[in-house]
């Protein structure tokens, strides 16, 4: 579909050029022309405030500038009326005839009508979730998953060729600990009095794994070290994680293992290159360390440092520890180098706030390698706090998250209590930068009255009408769309904003915008459903036919917006 703000902006641009050529406006450089959907009745459909911004360079009053622009505005089939108003706004009204034509176009093209070509020929990658396989997916991780998956859907709608990737590390100390923890549980399952290692994983899921392992293997592994346990736990955990995510419609195209970069040596190649470029050095403490820091580091073996201070960091960072094992910094840089080399134009990285600072070091690393980091975009989502209402005080209180034995801590438990659609919507309907209070009870208890079903019900209603029409042997073929009223067209107008919403969400990496748009779209629809009956006594057949056509288009529109959010579009509720 065409983006209406862009089309309007082009008209304004031509009008200014034409006014300048005619001497109605002085010469000046034409700035970017902002076009916004009108905010209220009587202000047309789209507004342009550019005249106010031009007042200075044109040395004229905003209203006079607006008048000149309107005077020189070229004709366009989608605009029926233009006026200047207020302090200097130019208000455009969409043509009714054109709007009605869009109904046919939507039905002919289907959901593809709402696709853009801004990403055509470009590859995009979204990396999200990326949890190491040491425990089940938590509510907090789900947020990043939903944001990432929705971002991917929006990029696809914008025309990008999208890959969803999951980056994981199964080689670190955490995984060793997981193996050791499972071994302890395994020995316990066999009746031995074996304590968990210090700092081990206390999650009850390891008890289940251990029982399973004991059933399968008997006591064959009593003398094994942590490795087979780690491998068993890892395989089980990944299966679990993938199942959990699949429940809410999240899948990945590629799982990228950090370890593969150790095996192919690319990590060491990056280190060498950083060294050649003068960004690495070996020392016991960083180059600008204070005396205090130096004293602390006195008895350490040297480590390899990354000179991030060259890029404005407050201190240099360790890349390779004194024991020869890299910290996460080096693999992260190597990973992003790898991404760039795979030829993505856009790489979106969804991170939780607890990892949020790390991307800066990665960016410095990419720059240090002489590569262009501008294709990398980070969405940092703030933490999720599961809350519920205290029955005594009425206050919202936090439900403590614990991977050990929290009540509401895993995605699985949440799915059990609510529904995938409810989880997706509520997680999505917040700006990523906003701290999320996820009120479990609200999503559960009030589910009959929440926006999730409000939006889906719009689709259900369209389906209901179609079903009823079919039962009565009525069809919308050959409908005379001109019989529709302003009310229906107001909805179509709102539906046409979907392209702008997708564009903005993609350009600004803010997938939550689609969730709010969907709610607005539904609230434009439901009053019409109430007022504009398609079927019923006293409604002329040609009017019925036209209205059926309208609801047909509306059904496609809601299907599309629900798809974009990864939600189901039920036909009945």
Interface positions, 393-422, toward RNA (CB under 7 A): 396
Is residue 451 near RNA by the rule CB under 7 A? yes
Is residue 7 near RNA by the rule CB under 7 A? no
Binding residues with RNA: total (CB under 7 A): 94
Q: How far is the CB of 66 from RNA (least distance, A)?
A: 10
* Only segment of 71-79, 97-105, 146-154, 453-461 that touches RNA (CB under 7 A): 453-461
* Only segment of 20-28, 82-90, 101-109, 142-150 that touches RNA (CB under 7 A): 82-90
State how far the Cα of 326 lies from the Cα of 2, in Å rounded to an integer.
Answer: 49
Q: Which residues contact 15 (CB under 8 A, 6 or more apart)?
A: 69, 70, 71, 72, 73, 74
Site for RNA in 58-77 (CB under 7 A): none
Is residue 490 near RNA by the rule CB under 7 A? no
* Only segment of 220-228, 293-301, 335-343, 491-499 that touches RNA (CB under 7 A): 293-301
Is residue 567 near RNA by the rule CB under 7 A? no
Is residue 143 near RNA by the rule CB under 7 A? no
Question: In the complex with RNA, which residue's Cβ is closer, 109 or 296?
Answer: 296
Beta bridge partners of residue 168, listed in sequence order: 257
Site string for RNA, 94-133 (x = CB under 7 A): --------------------------------------x-
Whole-angstrom CA distances from 68 to 9, 65, 187, 454, 456 are 15, 5, 85, 45, 46
Residue of the chain from 30, 61, 533, 568 that contacts RNA (CB under 7 A): 533
- DSSP character for 48? E
Per DSSP bridges, beta strands 376-381 and 346-352 are: parallel
Three-state DSSP class for 161? strand
Q: How far is the CB of 35 from RNA (least distance, A)?
A: 7
Instruction: Give the number of other Cβ atoms within 10 Å of residue 391's Cβ.
Output: 6
Helix (H) or strand (E) holding 66, with range, is helix 62-72
Is residue 190 near RNA by the rule CB under 7 A? no
Q: Give the pair of three-digit tokens for residue 221.
A: 């592994």
Q: How far is the CB of 505 from RNA (least distance, A)?
A: 10
Question: In the complex with RNA, which residue's Cβ is closer, 182 or 501?
Answer: 501
Is residue 503 near RNA by the rule CB under 7 A? no
Q: Which residues contact 319 (CB under 8 A, 6 or more apart)?
A: 271, 274, 280, 303, 304, 305, 306, 326, 327, 329, 330
Nearest alpha carbon to residue 250 among 165, 145, 350, 349: 145
Q: How far is the CB of 192 from RNA (least distance, A)?
A: 29
Q: How far is the CB of 252 from RNA (least distance, A)?
A: 17
Contact 9, 33 (CB under 8 A): yes
Contact 461, 547 (CB under 8 A): no
Helix (H) or strand (E) holding 456, with range, is helix 451-471
State how far the Cα of 414 lies from the Cα of 440, in Å rounded to an integer.
Answer: 8
Is residue 172 near RNA by the rule CB under 7 A? yes
Residue of the chain from 17, 468, 480, 542 that contacts RNA (CB under 7 A): 468
Question: In the complex with RNA, which residue's Cβ is closer, 47 or 187?
Answer: 47
Q: How far is the CB of 135 from RNA (least distance, A)?
A: 12
Site for RNA in 11-50 (CB under 7 A): 34, 36-40, 42-44, 47, 49
Residue of the chain from 10, 18, 101, 174 that contacts RNA (CB under 7 A): 174
Is residue 188 near RNA by the rule CB under 7 A? no
Is residue 263 near RNA by the rule CB under 7 A? no
Q: How far is the CB of 285 from RNA (least distance, A)?
A: 6
State how far the Cα of 162 lies from the Cα of 154, in Å rounded to an integer.
Answer: 10
Is residue 285 near RNA by the rule CB under 7 A? yes
State how far the Cα of 219 lies from the Cα of 215, in Å rounded to an integer.
Answer: 9
Question: In the complex with RNA, which residue's Cβ is closer, 221 or 430?
Answer: 430
Is residue 207 near RNA by the rule CB under 7 A? no
State how far the Cα of 455 lies from the Cα of 438, in Å rounded to an integer.
Answer: 20
Q: How far is the CB of 92 from RNA (least distance, A)?
A: 9
β-sheet with 161-168: strand ranges across = 254-257, 161-168, 123-127, 346-352, 376-381
Proportion of the chain in helix, strand, coil states, percent, rounded to 5: 50, 15, 35
Is residue 268 near RNA by the rule CB under 7 A? no
Tell me the DSSP string of 434-454. SPEEEEHHHHHHTGGGSHHHH
Is residue 227 near RNA by the rule CB under 7 A? no
Question: In the complex with RNA, which residue's Cβ is closer, 98 or 454?
Answer: 454
């Amino acid at each position: 579909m065409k983006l209406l703000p862009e089309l309007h902006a082009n008209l304004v641009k031509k009008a200014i050029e034409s006014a300048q050529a005619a001497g109605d406006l002085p010469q000046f450089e034409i700035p970017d022309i902002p076009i916004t959907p009108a905010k209220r009745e009587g202000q047309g459909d789209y507004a342009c405030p550019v005249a106010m911004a031009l007042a200075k360079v044109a040395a004229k009053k905003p209203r006079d500038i607006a008048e000149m622009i309107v005077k020189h505005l070229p004709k366009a089939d989608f605009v029926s009326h233009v006026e200047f108003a207020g302090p200097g706004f130019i208000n455009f009204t969409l043509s009714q005839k054109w709007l009605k034509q869009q109904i046919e176009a939507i039905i002919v093209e289907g959901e593809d009508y709402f696709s853009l070509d801004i990403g055509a020929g470009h590859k995009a990658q979204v990396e999200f979730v990326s949890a190491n396989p040491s425990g089940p997916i938590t509510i907090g991780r789900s947020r990043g998953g939903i944001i990432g998956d929705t971002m991917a859907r929006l990029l696809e709608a914008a025309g990008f060729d999208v890959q969803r990737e999951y980056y994981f590390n199964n080689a670190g100390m955490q995984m060793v600990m997981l193996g050791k923890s499972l071994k302890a549980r395994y020995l316990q399952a066999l009746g031995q009095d074996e304590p968990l290692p210090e700092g081990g994983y206390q999650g009850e899921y390891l008890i289940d794994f251990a029982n399973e392992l004991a059933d399968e293997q008997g006591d064959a592994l009593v003398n094994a070290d942590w490795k087979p346990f780690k491998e068993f736990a890892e395989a089980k955990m990944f299966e679990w994680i993938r199942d959990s995510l699949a429940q809410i419609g999240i899948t990945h195209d590629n799982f990228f293992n950090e370890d593969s970069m150790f095996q192919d040596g690319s990590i060491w190649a990056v280190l060498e290159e950083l060294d050649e470029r003068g960004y690495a050095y070996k020392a016991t403490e960083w180059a600008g360390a204070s005396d205090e820091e130096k004293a602390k580091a006195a008895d350490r073996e040297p480590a390899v440092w990354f000179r991030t201070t060259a890029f404005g960091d407050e201190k240099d960072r360790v890349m390779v520890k004194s024991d020869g094992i890299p910290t996460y910094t080096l693999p992260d840089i190597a990973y992003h180098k790898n991404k760039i080399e795979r030829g993505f134009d856009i790489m979106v990285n969804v991170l939780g706030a607890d990892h949020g600072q790390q991307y800066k070091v990665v960016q410095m690393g990419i720059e240090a390698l002489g590569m262009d980091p501008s294709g990398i975009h980070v969405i940092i989502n703030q933490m999720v706090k599961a809350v519920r209402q205290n029955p005594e005080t009425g206050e919202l209180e936090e439900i403590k998250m614990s991977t050990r034995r929290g009540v509401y801590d895993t995605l699985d438990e949440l799915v059990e209590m609510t529904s995938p659609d409810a989880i997706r919507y509520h997680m999505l309907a917040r700006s990523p930068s906003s701290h999320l209070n996820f009120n479990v009870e609200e999503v559960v208890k009030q589910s009959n009255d929440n926006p999730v079903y409000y939006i889906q019900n719009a689709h259900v209603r369209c389906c209901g009408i179609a079903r009823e029409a079919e039962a009565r042997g009525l069809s919308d073929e050959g409908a005379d769309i001109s019989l529709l009223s302003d009310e229906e067209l107001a909805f179509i107008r709102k539906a046409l904003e979907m392209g702008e919403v997708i564009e903005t969400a993609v350009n600004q990496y803010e997938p939550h915008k689609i969730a709010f748009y969907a709610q607005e779209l539904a609230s434009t629809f439901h009053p019409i459903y109430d007022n504009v009956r398609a079927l019923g006594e006293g409604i002329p057949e040609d009017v019925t036919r036209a209205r059926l056509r309208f609801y047909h288009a509306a059904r496609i529109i809601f299907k599309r917006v629900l798809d974009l959010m990864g939600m189901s579009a039920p036909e009945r509720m």
